[in-house]
Amino acid sequence: MDQTYVGHTLFQSVPFEKEMLTSRLVMAPMTRMFSPGGIPGENVAHYYRKRAENGIGLIITEGTAINHPAAVQSPDIPRFYGEDALNGWAHVVHEVHEAGGKIIPQLWHVGAARKAGSEPNVEAPPVSPSGFTLKGKSNEKIKALTKQEVLDMIDRYAEAAANAKRIGFDGIELHGAHGYLIDQFFWERTNKRNDEYGGNIGERTQFAADIVRACRKEVGPDFPIVLRFSQWKGTDYEAKLANNSNELEQLLSPLVEAGVDIFHCSTRRIWEPEFKDEDLSLNLAGWTKRITKKPTIAVGSVGINRAYLSNQDNADRTIVDKLAMIDEKIEAGDYDYVAVGRALLADPEWAIKLKNGQLDRVTHYTKESENYLI
């Protein structure tokens, strides 16, 4: 079977707000825990530069901790506060820019996904909207955020956004997916609040919307704010924030009004329709763009032959088949950018090999790829 990619849309130069990307390909954020003490070092700068100089238009960093003691669950996850960590990130930015790429940090708080007693701050309890686990159960080890703590958390995101602009990043991404803190406010299973940060599907967006507004105040009108969101959660792959396009519109409209520039729509399989009883040609990114009229990033098992956490091979849907479908969707205006994760983890030259018709030379992803430093 011919495994040569003959499309062209992925390697078009494309706007990223007022800047231009050299391609539509985005490096998806992937947690690696290679930053001892939370400080990204030379190895991290080299890792991102290699992807930028090999055809990736936009790099989204691995999740990086905002300035809150319970933001993450490992001392080796990079921080986005403290001059030592920020100086490390400034060097990363320099390397990526020198290679011709653009880069944005993913600002992260894991909320109730963090286990009590986790490093780097073992004394800090996990926090969440209502003190519930991701299974929807009350847990005394998880602290429900007070109203003042919610407001303080919003300030911590805004502080990180200001730092991102100060040290030269090209925008920011807010991690609002996969059952982490912002997503816990979106989700009815984990948000049982009775103040303005709880309520129906539209009202549960208030936390994220206030974060976006606070970040916008810090960075000004022309600094891109990307929001990553998902239906699925790390504990429930069948979870739904929105069961149909009407509910999705209720979720997204307040976020558009708050100032989100681009939606990063995380799915496990880019080719799957989002709603089985509605337009089957649209995945989550397609529906999001139709509803919001904002640019979208689509993602989901693009450069691999096995879907995320799937035990079944997708050999009947080859990488080239998926890329051909993606070309059609981009040309149809369903989405604007395509994020690639594990394929780039395994091979920093994946994009340029694809462009040059050398997929047969790609180093394919295996579980061991997660240990790569290149």
Active-site residue set: 180
Please, is 6 exposed, middle or buried when counting C-beta atoms within 10 Å of its C-beta (0-12, 13-18, 19+)?
exposed
3-state SS track over 153-179: HHHHHHHHHHHHHHCCCCCEEEEEEEC
Write the CB contacts of 282 (distance below 8 Å, at least 6 apart in sequence).
273, 274, 275, 290, 334
Give the integer Cα–Cα distance in Å for 295 and 178: 21
Of residues 235, 268, 231, the one with CA closest to residue 248:
231
278: amino acid identity, one letter: E
Q: Which residues, 6 or more positions from 145, have their beta carbon under 8 angstroms from its beta carbon?
A: 127, 128, 129, 153
Q: Which of 137, 135, 100 is nearest to 13 (CA)?
A: 100
Distances (CA, A) of 279 to 275, 286, 332, 333: 7, 10, 14, 15
Using DSSP's 3-state secondary structure scheme, residue 200 falls into coil
What phi and psi values does residue 163 have, to the nearest 5 degrees? -65, -40
User: CA torsion 182→184→188→194, rounded to 10°?
Assistant: -80
Q: Which residue has the tokens 């925008």?
A: 171
Longest Cα–Cα distance of the chain, Å, equals 60
Please tell me whether the peptide bond between 254 and the residue prior to it is cis, using omega within 30 degrees of 0. no
Number of C-alpha atoms within 13 angstroms, CB side, residue 56? Answer: 31
Give me 184's structure tokens.
């816990």
Choose among 330, 325, 329, 264: nearest CA to 299.
264
> Which two three-digit tokens encode residue 140?
């005394």
